[in-house]
Structure 1
């Protein structure tokens, strides 16, 4: 086995029916991944054995595995454990809320693959039960409830396009608690312990991108201390993620509306964490501009 074949990158794409597996597969193919759709788990090992013949010509392989494999799908966790011992293997799980999945199936007028004689929701619930252990062990979970196909494609590109030598991508996301927690957050920081600039008439119409708001937030007791301490605490976490081959994480930073305190803090954290070796840091403002 050649060195290039030994280190071929393999991605298992799985998740709920209707959550966007086909869209993710298409986006990966556009990124020059070799994509295999609807492969029974039992065929994973023979397929990867065959790629050795390619002598490194297929360095990135994405395999879509899901409940269309019926009873054979149950063996996926065991097969993945075996493969992780011999291959650079990751998995991404695409999910969405039950309500969104029902709407998507109704829109295309197709039954759920596990629906049987029941309703679409019955099929979704059966599928969730079958996928519970797979979701729990996934390296990356993407909730597509609020994403259209173009936004999901962009998310896949963000996750799997080459980032130089970065082994981990960290997204620091500001958000507003009044709009709900980000469903794909790995960690959440709550900045509502700081005074809200909203109640300052001079700052209300501004955002955390403005210097006046930044100066106000960082001047509050405990603000800099929290940011310094939290960024220091995240360093060993990010290093551990790299050791465990977890390639992406989301740190969500929230305030009431996602306009002032969280925006400032997200940028301060990004500035401090941008020097962590092997980590590419991005800032995303989920709710900025909603007010």
Structure 2
């Protein structure tokens, strides 16, 4: 437990309503900051006396915050800095009036200072109230022409302290006959590979058994398919991480979810570990029983000689 009296790194996030404060605070939280929004001004001093971890603290304020006036906030920050030595900085989020009007119109949410008046009136009034804080702020971001993704990128660039949790990668095997995973970001259909289900000695086994995986890997298309999927995923993962995507779920499906997809997913997860990632692996349908009726009947006794030779459907 850290010393309550120890100086803290504090970022005050404020600005015009609708300019992106919630987006900034959410991104800071993903980067490992402790975040609190709209804490009454009179409680800030008490908050800083409480024990906390090593994570920096971000406090959100705007015209809706109870007891908020820019002048009082500025004086309180100066007082805290002189008494405690806290490293306190202020980020002000600005935005042009025309863009704020558009945002409030799209969300159908009234401006907090214009409950029964046009949004433009509330925006102008708030801009006047917040002017001293904008002049005093250490950093100003104008979000008028920034997308949500652009704003998040700026926050990551300025405030990433190394506490970010990173992207959680999950590799899942499944059977199409039992439905597609609802949370999959990438899905690869492996039903083109030859099917161990139609080999009597392999049917009761699973893709975790060497005999089954050797059979699947011996398919002439396995290596080229694996290489193409590997290259695509390794291309995408750093870009997902750069966008601070919290979860990436990669699904590999076959018909029943017991043989081909299990082998491929296990092999793929091992490749990711060798590349420096730490994927979770789930075999959703591994415990299901083999059922002929769930498999493509063309993989069974009625398939053509070409398919019989290959061991999979045409």
- 1:131 equivalent in structure 2: 130
- 1:59 equivalent in structure 2: 55
Taking the aligned partners of 1:49 and 1:66, their CA distance within structure 2 comes to 23
SS state of the match for residue 103, structure 1? helix
Count residues in correspondence.
159
- 2:119 equivalent in structure 1: 120
TM-score normalised per structure 1: 0.51
- 1:248 equivalent in structure 2: none
Question: Cα gap change, 1:160/1:120 in structure 2, threshold over 3 Å: closer, same or farther?
Answer: same
Aligned-residue offset at 1:4: 8.8
Equivalent residues of 1:77, 1:134 under 8 A apart: yes
1:80 to 52, 77, 81: 77
Equivalent residues of 1:10, 1:61 under 8 A apart: yes
- 2:103 equivalent in structure 1: 104
- 1:13 equivalent in structure 2: 13
- 1:278 equivalent in structure 2: none
SS state of the match for residue 68, structure 1? coil
Taking the aligned partners of 1:156 and 1:105, their CA distance within structure 2 comes to 23
Aligned-residue offset at 1:82: 1.2
Q: How does 1:16-31 map to 2 (within 5 A)?
A: 16-31=16-31
Equivalent residues of 2:33, 2:56 under 8 A apart: yes
- 1:271 equivalent in structure 2: none
1:69 to 56, 60, 65: 65
Taking the aligned partners of 1:22 and 1:4, their CA distance within structure 2 comes to 27
TM-score normalised per structure 2: 0.48
Aligned-residue offset at 1:5: 5.6
Q: Which runs of 5+ in 1 are unaligned?
A: 164-291
CA root-mean-square deviation: 2.0
Taking the aligned partners of 2:35 and 2:66, their CA distance within structure 1 comes to 20
Higher radius of gyration, 1 or 2: 2
Aligned-residue offset at 1:117: 2.8
Taking the aligned partners of 2:142 and 2:9, their CA distance within structure 1 comes to 23
SS state of the match for residue 67, structure 1? coil
